[in-house]
Amino acid sequence: MLRMRLRLIPLLAVFAFTAAVIQAETAPAYDEAAITEQLTQLGLQVNNVSASPVTGLAQVFTNRGLFFVSNDGAYFFEGNVFDIQNRQLVNEQQMRPFRQQQLQQHNDFIEYKAKDEKHVVTVFTDPSCGYCRRLHNDMKDYNKAGITVRYLAFPRGGLQSETNDELEAIWCSRDKNSSMDRAKAGRSVSAVACRNPVANHYNLGQAFGVTGTPAIVLPNGQLIPGYQPADALAQQLNN
């Protein structure tokens, strides 16, 4: 019995060492608690922390978009990270699946559906924005090109602005499309109060990295800031 125990000791030591190595290899290199604490102090709400494609950096999805942080949480990078080898923005590539996943949870948009639908785009809009009105004026061209447009609200002046109130009235109206048409034409919309998704849309836009309107999200999750003519947008979607 003593001999058997002595034989088991080296085996147990090997198993313990192997388990420790596996645990060390699978443990994340970043300190999630430290990163969360540091970004919270900056006024950011951390939604998810994960390893990034960049060695030494973690990627953090927040209520204000995607940021890169040193693994120890000591350094915060605000701006784009460019992948030289693949010639692409790392920020945008990492954000695309996040946007796709989040948009699947929303059905409270105002839709302008194409009869022969080929593509569906989501547009964060503000009725007082000049280029938003230009995009809306081209709605027949988008629909003719097979592009369905789904609007989400993004009051540029924030949730305490007059535009926010106008967007809430649009989403609370019985005929949302007609109210949107009136607002885009510079006409007033009757004030109506109800539970509405405007604040949720605004927060979603900020999490997507939207800073202005219009902001177009393609089916693959790519974000295009600004107005796009119907033919140019159709070409990009077809490609």
Per-residue pLDDT of 15-42, as tens digits, reads 444 444 344 345 578 999 999 999 999 9
Residue 7: predicted pLDDT: 54
- For 136-191, write each residue's pLDDT tens digit: 999 999 999 999 999 999 999 999 999 999 999 999 999 999 999 999 999 999 98
- Greatest Cα pair distance, the chain, in angstroms, is 93
For residues 16 and 84, membership in a common domain is answered with yes
Sheet with 76-77, edge to edge strand ranges: 46-51, 57-62, 65-70, 76-77
Domain's final residue, options 62, 92, 122: 92
Q: What amino acid positions are annotated as catalytic residues?
A: 126, 129, 132, 156
The number of distinct structural domains making up the chain is: 2
Asked, for residue 97, whether it belongs to a domain, the answer is: no
Residue where a domain terminates, one of 63, 92, 121: 92
Radius of gyration for the alpha carbons in the chain, expressed in angstroms and rounded = 24
Q: Are residues 134 and 77 in the same domain?
A: no
Q: Is residue 103 assigned to a domain?
A: no
In a domain, 105, yes or no: no
CB distance 224 to 237 below 8 Å: no
Do residue 134 and residue 67 come from a single domain? Answer: no
Domain that holds residue 24: 1-92
Residue 102 lies in a domain: no
Residue by residue, DSSP assigns 80-107 as --EETTTTEEHHHHHHHHHHHHHHTT--
Domain edge (last residue) among 57, 92, 127: 92
Residue 101 in domain: no
Q: How far is CA 125 from the centre of its chain?
A: 15
Residue 192's pLDDT band (cuts 50, 70, 90) = confident
